């Protein structure tokens, strides 16, 4: 059923942001060879697909499923994780990619999980940074767009599992 969406970031704006992120990531990884990109499902699937194709750095892809939202709208108390890395990251460069960083818990916990496997380096990237509720030591290495304490959906981000397929990011009206 059709619904009116309040577009916050257009498809063009997202594409521009992804290109800029790719340039920065490439610059930081120019000497490193292949980077293992860990995609945090489900939300980061669409962003990561565009990001790795915009990057010149060669990548290998791994996928983990994380969720922290209780009902699609309210953050849960703890993050649940499904699946495990199917690539050996020991001694390698790893980039963990999520759609959005809010408190920072998801990327922090996944960084710890990856760090336990003795990589050479772990970095984190999020397309959107929700700056208002971040734990002080949980900044991502790369982020593109910034928002306040708002709920957004589209371009991989869901509103109760819906709208991940939108090519733009929209603002949810309560």
Contact residues: Mg ion, CB under 5 A: 43
Measured from each CB, the residue nearest to Mg ion is: 43
Query: Phi and psi dihedrals of 145, rounded to 5?
Result: -105, 155
* CA distances (Å), origin 91, targets 97, 110, 153: 19, 17, 36
Q: How far is the CB of 25 from ligand IMP (least distance, A)?
A: 19
**Closest by alpha carbon to 110, among 93, 122, 92?**
122
Give me the 126-155 binding string for ligand IMP, x by CB under 6 A, dash otherwise.
----x--------------------xxx--
Strand order in the sheet with 169-171: 6-9, 169-171, 152-153
Per the annotation, the verdict on 4 as an active-site residue is no
Q: Per rule CB under 6 A, is residue 64 in the interface with ligand IMP?
A: no
Runs of H (alpha helix) within 29-157: 45-54, 105-115
Beta strands in 10-92 (DSSP E): 35-41, 59-69, 75-82
Which CB sits closer to ligand IMP, 92 or 105?
Answer: 105
Closer CB to ligand IMP, 11 or 41, in the complex: 41
- Of 139, 157, 155, whose CA–CA distance to 15 is shortest? 155
21 binds ligand IMP (CB under 6 A): no
Q: Which of 11, 41, 69, 164 binds ligand IMP (CB under 6 A)?
A: 69
Regarding 101 and contact with ligand IMP (CB under 6 A), the answer is yes
**Residue in the structure block whose two tokens are 């767009």:** 145
Confirm or reject binding of residue 75 to ligand IMP (CB under 6 A): yes
- Among 93, 99, 102, 149, the active-site one is 102
Residues lying near ligand IMP in the complex (CB under 6 A) are found at 40, 43, 68-69, 75, 98-106, 130, 151-153, 157
């Amino acid at each position: 059923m059709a619904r009116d969406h309040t577009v916050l970031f257009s498809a063009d704006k997202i594409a521009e942001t992804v290109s800029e992120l790719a340039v920065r990531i490439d610059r930081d990884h120019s000497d490193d060879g292949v980077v293992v990109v860990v995609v945090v499902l489900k939300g980061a699937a669409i962003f990561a697909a565009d990001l790795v194709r915009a990057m010149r750095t060669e990548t290998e892809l791994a996928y983990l499923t994380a969720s922290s939202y209780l009902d699609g709208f309210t953050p849960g108390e703890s993050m649940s994780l499904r699946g495990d890395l199917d690539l050996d990251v020991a001694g390698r460069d790893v980039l963990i990619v999520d759609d959005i960083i809010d408190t920072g818990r998801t990327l922090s916990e996944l960084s710890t999980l990856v760090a336990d496997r003795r990589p050479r380096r772990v970095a984190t990237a999020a397309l959107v940074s929700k700056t208002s509720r971040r734990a002080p030591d949980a900044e991502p290495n790369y982020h593109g767009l910034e928002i306040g304490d708002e709920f957004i959906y589209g371009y991989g981000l869901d509103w109760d599992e819906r709208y991940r397929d939108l090519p733009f990011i929209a603002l949810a009206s309560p």
